[in-house]
């Protein structure tokens, strides 16, 4: 069956990466297939006709979503009408579950086949949501194996496709080469600091991260710190933060601000300080020790503490089902606590080496050819077949036994 039209709705930059990989795979198999919906620069470069900009759905936090609810409901109504007029073979929501699942349900009730790519955290909180998910989608595509197990137990059609970042990123990397490319001292201990890609994240956690880095620079005379700016706007905000450093601070000479290149910065580092989310997964796939620290609006944190039941927020810990990565959240995320934990991490070469080996093994387990497997699932849905039976295992798994 040749696919003709696919409707895609991505909610943020991580979804844009997933969507672009899937689009490339589907275009190779189905020349002339059309894509429409919401995507970022990568998806637009692959030929998507964007109805709204990617930032339309980028609202962070529970309280913040309530404030923007009228606008988001209007966007959902317009997308529903647009998708119904487009009549896609499959509509796929990519992440952004609070927005996309409602859109998917409306379209499914109107007779359009729907799927969702990237499971919401139903295994962590409000597990009853799985009933609504079952009504909204014909299949769930998960990035992680434990998520697929959850859906099977609840009899929701599911395909574990793996994570495209695990496919994209090399199983071996060169710390020295990364330092050379960034103009860093090849021998000095190196800390990468990633304070987030959103303005609100820089506002909440940026000053704390900078204060922690400054303390570490005072403690370790040879430490170098590299901070990637996700966008030009984030660079302006980070430059303003750096200007607040004391004039006598050693950090003024040892913090390097770069444009993008966050992955290169992580590979170059001995340890990484970051907020949670996809960046933590990337640091794991770079095989680097890390500390996750996160702050949010007080009201959002108050609600989250009462709703979230999982003991972890970072993906490396969730995948491993144990604490491999220290997590400091809200009031615990102080400059003193962060710098103390990172100082111990930077001093512990043996522990870092063991953790890097563990992360390399986890990386290998997640390499599944995710975009191809997601494309298999989309083709199966369009043809009315079982998604799980249609998703091929990697060649090395097929030959086992």
The full set of domain ranges for the chain reads 5-162+368-398, 175-365
Looking at residue 12, what is its pLDDT?
A: 83
For residue 144, is it left (φ>0), alpha (ψ between -120 and 50) or beta? beta
Residue 198 CB contacts under 8 Å (≥ 6 apart), including other chains? 58, 60
What does the DSSP 8-state code read for residue 31? T
Among the listed ranges 94-98, 341-345, 346-350, 355-359, which one has the minimum average pLDDT value? 94-98
Contact status, residue 94 vs residue 118, Cβ threshold 8 Å: yes
Instruction: State the DSSP code for 392.
Output: P
Confidence of residue 63 (pLDDT cuts 50, 70, 90): very low
Q: Is residue 357 over pLDDT 60?
A: yes
**CA dist., res. 165 & res. 366, Å (int):** 9
Q: How far apart (Å, rounded) are the C-alpha atoms in residues 387 and 52?
A: 29
The reported pTM is: 0.75
Q: What is the reported pLDDT for 307? A: 63
Pull the structure tokens for residue 1.
């069956």
CATH 3.40.50.2000 fits 175-365, yes or no: yes
Half-sphere exposure of 69 (CA within 13 A, CB side): 8
3-state secondary structure of 58: coil
Q: What is the dihedral of CA 112, 140, 20, 12, to 10 degrees?
A: 100
Q: Are strands 158-160 and 190-194 parallel, antiparallel or unpaired?
A: unpaired
**The domain made up of 5-162+368-398 is a member of CATH 3.40.50.1370:** no
Residue 344, CB half-sphere, CA atoms under 13 Å: how many?
8
pLDDT band at 46 (very low <50, low <70, confident <90, very high): very high
Tens of pLDDT, residues 100-124: 999 999 999 999 999 999 998 786 6
Spatial separation of the C-alpha atoms in residues 273 and 283, rounded to whole Å = 10
What is the model's pLDDT at position 60? 47
Whether the per-residue pLDDT at 175 is higher than 80: the answer is yes
CA–CA gap between residue 261 and residue 178 (Å, rounded): 10
Overall residue count recorded for the chain in this entry: 401
**Which percentage of the chain shows pLDDT scores above 90?**
69
What 338-341 contacts at long range (C-beta under 8 Å, 24+ apart), as own/partner pairs, is 338/208, 338/209, 338/212, 338/273, 338/291, 338/293, 339/212, 339/213, 339/215, 339/216, 339/219, 341/291
């Amino acid at each position: 069956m040749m696919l003709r039209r696919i409707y895609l709705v991505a909610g943020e930059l991580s979804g844009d990466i997933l969507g672009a990989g899937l689009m490339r795979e589907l275009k190779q198999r189905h020349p002339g297939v059309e894509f429409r919906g919401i995507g970022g620069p990568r998806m637009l470069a692959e030929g998507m006709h964007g109805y709204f900009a990617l930032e339309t759905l980028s609202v962070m936090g529970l309280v913040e979503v309530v404030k923007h609810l009228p606008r988001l409901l209007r966007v959902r109504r317009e997308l529903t009408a647009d998708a119904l007029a487009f009549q896609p073979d499959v509509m796929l929501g990519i992440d952004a579950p609070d927005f996309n699942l409602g859109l998917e349900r409306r379209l499914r009730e109107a007779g359009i086949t729907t799927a969702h790519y990237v499971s919401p955290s139903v295994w962590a909180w409000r597990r009853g949501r799985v009933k609504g998910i079952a009504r909204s989608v014909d299949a769930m595509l998960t990035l992680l194996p434990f998520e697929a197990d959850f859906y099977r137990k609840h009899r929701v059609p599911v395909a574990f496709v793996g994570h495209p970042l695990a496919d994209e990123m090399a199983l071996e990397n060169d710390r020295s080469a990364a330092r050379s490319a960034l103009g860093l001292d090849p021998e000095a201990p190196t800390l990468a600091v990633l304070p987030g890609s959103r303005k609100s994240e820089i506002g909440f956690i940026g000053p704390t991260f900078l204060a922690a880095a400054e303390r570490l620079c005072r403690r370790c005379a040879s430490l170098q710190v590299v901070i990637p700016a996700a966008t030009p706007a984030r660079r302006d905000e980070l430059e303003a933060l750096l200007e607040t450093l004391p004039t006598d601070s050693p950090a003024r000479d040892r913090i390097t601000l770069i444009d993008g290149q966050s992955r290169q910065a992580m590979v170059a580092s001995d340890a990484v300080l970051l907020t949670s989310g996809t960046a933590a997964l990337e640091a794991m796939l770079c095989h680097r020790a890390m500390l996750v620290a996160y702050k949010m609006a007080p009201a959002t944190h108050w609600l989250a503490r009462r709703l979230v039941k999982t003991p972890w927020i970072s993906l490396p810990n969730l995948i491993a089902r144990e604490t491999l990565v220290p997590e400091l959240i809200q009031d615990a995320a102080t400059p003193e606590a962060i710098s103390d934990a990172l100082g111990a991490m930077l001093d512990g070469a043996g522990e870092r080496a063991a953790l890097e080996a563990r992360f390399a093994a986890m990386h290998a387990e997640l390499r599944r050819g995710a975009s191809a497997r997601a494309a298999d699932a989309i083709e199966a849905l369009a043809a009315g077949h079982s998604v799980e039976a249609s998703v091929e295992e990697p060649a090395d798994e097929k030959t086992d036994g």
